[in-house]
């Protein structure tokens, strides 16, 4: 934040000379970039590093309230999107009030956060049309050992998060580059606005 205020003050001070301003801007941008690469960036509380946990997300079981197939057992499966990974469980046939055990590892990776989206569905084919949703939920959390139980529209789902071990990694340089260049473009845009 300090750098942003610094640039703002300098922009006000030197707004009459565009070349000076751009030079200063490039200088500050470079120093921010270098501070990132040296592990002293603005990201992650000034360390340029983040803690990642070896994380498992498991769909343990689903209790069916309504299997969404009249007369026949439903063809129940789960779609999970955790961070950037998608996973689909196998289908298990179940009737109303059945408890299905999946024990499906839907995510296994090192990560510093978890963005979990899970939907329970009944697969339908042919004239029955699109699959029917029994409900979905989203959950965002820092990886910790945790059990999540959620009552959905037509089912109740249990999910387990477990972590084993942690490591410290340098924050992604690509993210830092995006921040630095966004900052640069925004600042240049400000200069153009001031000139008008």
Q: List residues binding Ca ion (CB under 5 A).
A: 68-69, 75, 122, 124, 132
Closer residue to Ca ion in complex, CB, 74/143: 74
Residue 155 CA: distances (Å) to CA of 133, 136, 139, 150: 10, 9, 17, 9
Closer residue to Ca ion in complex, CB, 72/86: 72
Q: What angle, rounded to 10 degrees, do the helices at 173-195 and 18-37 form?
A: 170
Distance of closest approach, residue 151 Cβ to Ca ion, in angstroms: 20
Contact at 8 Å (CB) between 102 and 92?
yes
Closer residue to Ca ion in complex, CB, 108/128: 128
Distance of closest approach, residue 176 Cβ to Ca ion, in angstroms: 48
Six-digit token string for 52: 């990642």
Encode burial over 122-131: b for 16+ CB neighbours within 10 A, e otherwise.
Answer: bbeeeeeeeb
Closer residue to Ca ion in complex, CB, 126/165: 126
Distance of closest approach, residue 76 Cβ to Ca ion, in angstroms: 8
Distance of closest approach, residue 136 Cβ to Ca ion, in angstroms: 16
Encode burial over 59-87: b for 16+ CB neighbours within 10 A, e otherwise.
Answer: bbbbbbbbbbbeeeebbbbbbbbbbeeeb
Closer residue to Ca ion in complex, CB, 64/80: 64
Q: How large is the C-alpha radius of gyration of the chain? A: 25
Distance of closest approach, residue 120 Cβ to Ca ion, in angstroms: 12
């Amino acid at each position: 934040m300090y750098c942003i205020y610094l640039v703002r003050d300098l922009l006000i001070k030197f707004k009459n000379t565009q070349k000076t301003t751009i030079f200063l801007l490039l200088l500050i941008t470079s120093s921010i970039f270098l501070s990132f690469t040296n592990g002293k960036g603005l990201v992650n509380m000034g360390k340029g590093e983040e803690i990642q946990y070896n994380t498992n997300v498991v769909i343990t079981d689903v209790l069916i309230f309504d299997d969404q197939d009249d007369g026949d057992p439903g063809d129940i499966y789960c779609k999970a999107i955790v961070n950037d990974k998608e996973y689909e469980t196998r289908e298990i046939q179940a009737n109303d009030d059945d408890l299905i055990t999946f024990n499906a590892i839907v995510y296994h990776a090192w990560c510093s956060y978890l963005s979990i989206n899970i939907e329970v569905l009944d697969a339908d084919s042919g004239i029955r049309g699109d699959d029917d949703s029994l409900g979905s939920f989203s959950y965002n959390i820092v990886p910790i050992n945790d059990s999540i139980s959620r009552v959905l529209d037509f089912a109740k789902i249990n999910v387990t998060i477990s972590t084993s071990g942690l490591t410290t990694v340098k924050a992604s340089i690509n993210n830092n580059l995006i921040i630095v260049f966004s900052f640069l473009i925004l600042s240049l845009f400000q200069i153009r606005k001031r000139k008008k």
